[in-house]
Structure 1
């Protein structure tokens, strides 16, 4: 995405590629693996009468990451509505793909060759030539979209799949169980956040990836492992703290601004009378640290608890 390595997985959301899986009954999570090995990033935020579960997602997963933790199953079953970053029916449509294509292009007459330093352009050409490609073929695409495309290809080559992502699988489950679904933002909101990143930060992120693709891939695999183990501290350091330091403007656009826009919408669900609970599923980074949705709601006085049956004997905050 032209993003720093710290954000590459936390921001690979379904809206970024129109072809990503969405709520489709043909997509099913394999019943393999051991659910007890997964420690979910799951919190429960409560007021006097109802609750919102906050679940940190990993947008690309492998079939053996399933079945899900029983904590996630319980939160899903206890919720009347499942809320995602974007409402599921708007994903995977030709309109979404066209919006992505337009956002990924230039509106000032420049090209990828124009915005990339020679060293970065040469590295990209070397990488693309392995599969018969060239920079010229991608000249109409901005650096953030080039990086996203490269990372998706790299992760798929080692078994990660978009249609196995946690949010994609829960969209499918919601459709199968006829749960109500909603979104915290629109596709336009999400694409605009990506496309608004400063060009210098887009270029630096792409250059960082090209400097050592294998190192980047190793870090993505490591983040996946931390996510599966529910390691909040390690994920926060790599996903959020590193991004805030390396690309501060992009961090504000991708994380802080959107979190601030989501919190009032989550509060509205808590304010509704009755005991109809909600499960909110968003990229893991959005729930981490002082800028995360969890701490923002805690600061407003709501009761917040980590839901973690596997966390016995160790902190679960």
Structure 2
């Protein structure tokens, strides 16, 4: 039962795809931008999908944008991702439907490393025997986040989704839950042995990464966030994966975002902070289309 509950939490973390500081009461640069064309504008906020209780309250700029907006956009429909139907579909996407197993598809040495790590975390590897290697890699990363106190219910997206429901604000999404599953399937493009080995390597540095990630996010330093070792390694070592889960999704969202200034209605769009920075980032693409982009 405990493992099943952890898997359900991990699914919510994963579909938010794919980052213990006290909040400052003073306004400073943040991960929220005002995007304007003429007198019309919307807000674009970079989020961390998993946070701890100590990370609340959130930076004031997020609340400013939320209070000014009548419509809130998320990456996907968070309510739909909590349904048993979706969770069954998500788990099925990570599993083999034939006679292959996790052990049969991994190099024996890599399998032993994975088994050793999972044993140290009291996760019986036998319960994941039908999972594809990318699915197991995702699960152990998300379980490790949870072990370090990073939970989806404290994340920026979940917080504002709950608030928007209680405030009867209009809630929209940029992509469907099924589309998110397809993006996650792109992880299968990685060599399965390399993917598992790199996951086990990177987990050793996860606490350090979480601290720097949250600090950079709070100060709105997206350049530092994008140049973190984990993001840089994804771009260098797994360019196809980065393109699938970041660049291609940004390009799809850019078919929607420019239309938000067609009228005077104000929206607050919340997406993972990794989607904002860089040449392919949303902020640069909006600026190139003539929008005024102002950091709050």
Question: TM bucket by the smaller chain?
Answer: 0.7 to 0.9
- CA 1:16/1:183 → structure 2, altered by over 3 Å: closer, same or farther? farther
**For residue 94 of structure 1, what is the aligned residue in structure 2?**
84
* CA distance in 2: counterparts of 1:263 and 1:149, whole angstroms: 30
**For residue 211 of structure 1, what is the aligned residue in structure 2?**
201
**For residue 117 of structure 2, what is the aligned residue in structure 1?**
127
* CA distance in 2: counterparts of 1:149 and 1:176, whole angstroms: 31
* CA distance in 2: counterparts of 1:211 and 1:156, whole angstroms: 18
Deviations 1:158-192 (A, max 9, x none): 22221000000010111121110100000011110
**For residue 294 of structure 2, what is the aligned residue in structure 1?**
305
TM-aligned CA deviation for residue 211 of structure 1: 3.2
1:260 has 2:251 as partner: yes
TM-aligned CA deviation for residue 263 of structure 1: 0.7
Indicate if the aligned counterparts of 2:48 and 2:156 stay in contact, CA closer than 8 A: yes
- CA 1:212/1:76 → structure 2, altered by over 3 Å: closer, same or farther? closer
* CA distance in 2: counterparts of 1:182 and 1:165, whole angstroms: 18
Moved over 4 A (4+): 18-22
Q: Give TM-score scaled by structure 2 length.
A: 0.87
- CA 1:174/1:99 → structure 2, altered by over 3 Å: closer, same or farther? same
- CA 1:304/1:201 → structure 2, altered by over 3 Å: closer, same or farther? farther
* CA distance in 2: counterparts of 1:227 and 1:216, whole angstroms: 16
Structure 1 unaligned residues grouped into runs of 5+: 1-13, 23-31, 308-317
Indicate if the aligned counterparts of 1:18 and 1:94 stay in contact, CA closer than 8 A: no
1:226 to 212, 216, 226: 216
- CA 1:138/1:38 → structure 2, altered by over 3 Å: closer, same or farther? farther
Indicate if the aligned counterparts of 1:35 and 1:66 stay in contact, CA closer than 8 A: no
1:58 has 2:48 as partner: yes
1:43 has 2:37 as partner: no
SS of 2:187 mapped into structure 1 = coil
* CA distance in 1: counterparts of 2:159 and 2:78, whole angstroms: 11
Indicate if the aligned counterparts of 2:222 and 2:273 stay in contact, CA closer than 8 A: no
TM-aligned CA deviation for residue 305 of structure 1: 1.3
Indicate if the aligned counterparts of 2:276 and 2:282 stay in contact, CA closer than 8 A: yes
* CA distance in 1: counterparts of 2:179 and 2:236, whole angstroms: 24
**For residue 6 of structure 1, what is the aligned residue in structure 2?**
none
* CA distance in 2: counterparts of 1:260 and 1:19, whole angstroms: 23
* CA distance in 2: counterparts of 1:206 and 1:178, whole angstroms: 43
**For residue 4 of structure 2, what is the aligned residue in structure 1?**
none
* CA distance in 2: counterparts of 1:114 and 1:133, whole angstroms: 19
Indicate if the aligned counterparts of 1:33 and 1:65 stay in contact, CA closer than 8 A: yes
1:17 to 11, 19, 26: 11
Deviations 1:63-119 (A, max 9, x none): 121112221111111111000001233121111101111111124543222332222
Indicate if the aligned counterparts of 1:44 and 1:305 stay in contact, CA closer than 8 A: yes
- CA 1:131/1:155 → structure 2, altered by over 3 Å: closer, same or farther? closer
TM-aligned CA deviation for residue 33 of structure 1: 4.7
Deviations 1:215-269 (A, max 9, x none): 2332233222322232222111125443211101101110011100001111222
TM-aligned CA deviation for residue 289 of structure 1: 0.7
TM-aligned CA deviation for residue 278 of structure 1: 0.7
Indicate if the aligned counterparts of 1:81 and 1:179 stay in contact, CA closer than 8 A: yes
Q: Give TM-score scaled by structure 1 length.
A: 0.81
